[in-house]
Amino acid sequence: MIRNRQAFWSGAMFIALGAAFTLQATHYTMGTAARMGPGYFPFWLGVALALMGAIVMLGALNKRTTETTITRFDFRIVALVVGSVVLYGLALRPLGLYLSVFLLVIVSSVASHEFNWRVAIANALFLVLFSYIAFIRGLGLIFPLWPSAFES
């Protein structure tokens, strides 16, 4: 019997996504661990995702697991999260990395039932700084940082 329906269906989703990644990765050259081909990483990432999904799914069947139900599907939350990613993709070039990451975090934070402006702004500022350190300084990627009107 399924005791924790949220965990069960989350596990099922991870298994499906992992299987899709694994299956799609087989269309690319695999290579070996020493000389990885383009399909190597997505293949093993998909396998790991499917295994984690199976663990979550099996945990939902445990008799000691807290029993939960699933409430109605909230399309508003999905629209906010997916919409924030689309907004980020559209805003990156004209607004730059800093403002588009900030917008991504704020818009996706509104989807939470526990939304708090102070926490969302602090999180957005942290992720802007992290994005700069990780992607610009660390990996040397070239992104516009500010809107083109601000850059000289």
Single out the residue of 108, 101, 104, 92 nearest to residue 134, CA to CA: 101
Better pLDDT: 43 or 36 = 43
151 pLDDT above the threshold of 80: no
Single out the residue of 150, 149, 147 nearest to residue 95, CA to CA: 147
Q: What is the mean pLDDT of the chain?
A: 90
pLDDT at residue 25, as a whole number: 93
Single out the residue of 137, 152, 139, 150 nearest to residue 99, CA to CA: 150
Tens of pLDDT, residues 52-95: 999 999 998 888 877 777 777 889 999 999 999 999 999 999 99
148 pLDDT above the threshold of 90: no
pLDDT at residue 74, as a whole number: 84
pLDDT at residue 101, as a whole number: 96
Give the rounded distance of the alpha carbon of 54 from its chain centre: 19
pLDDT at residue 69, as a whole number: 74
Q: What 3-state class would DSSP assign to 35?
A: coil
